[in-house]
Amino acid sequence: MNAVLLFTLVACGPDTSQVVQGIHSDNPAVREDMVEFARKVEEPKVVGALMASLEDPSEAIRIKAVQSLAALRHKGATAPLVDRLVIETSPAVKREIIDALGRIADDRAVPALLLIAQDTPADDVPLNVVWALGNIGDRRALPVLSRLREESTDPYVVYNANVALRKVK
């Protein structure tokens, strides 16, 4: 990141326009640093720029954008994250999106998470999907979580399904 810009942001507090400008920079190193820095700035323009970064060609930038949206726990990010989950090809970015959806805990993410859990054999369901469903706490997850608890031979899946079931309202 440009040292002067970073010093200004840290010393004087973030200027929304500078953060947005950095997120849209042509320089990938600046974009990556600014997307990470943006998790400290709860401004609509910054959140919008982070959501646009979900389309960045750089996997590292997409990961940091997802992490920043999760840190902000911005419910408006749920739909773009779910949309990205469907088209994302990087397993690392998908993992981050699932974690972010669990942290944001918006029940609009439940159908996408249920699809992953339903379309995967019980022993292969990603643990972060089970955690996210439990953290969201939506009753629609009960049948899937119960199935995982009963059908899985993986003790980690069974344990996490039990924990998630206790969290469901």
| pLDDT the model gives residue 2 | 56
Where does CATH 1.25.10.10 sit in the chain?
Answer: 1-104
**Whole-structure pTM value:** 0.88
DSSP states of 85-105: HHH---HHHHHHHHHHHHHHT
> Alpha-carbon distance 122 to 148, whole Å?
5
Query: Average pLDDT over the chain, rounded to whole?
Result: 91
Percent of the chain whose pLDDT exceeds 70: 92
Query: What CATH architecture applies to the domain 1-104?
Result: Alpha Horseshoe (1.25)
Two tokens at 91?
Answer: 């397993």
pLDDT digit string, tens, across residues 106-144: 999 999 999 999 999 999 999 999 999 999 999 999 999
CA separation (Å) from 105 to 6, 25, 54, 108?
32, 31, 19, 9
| pLDDT the model gives residue 16 | 84
Say whether pLDDT at 13 is over 60.
no
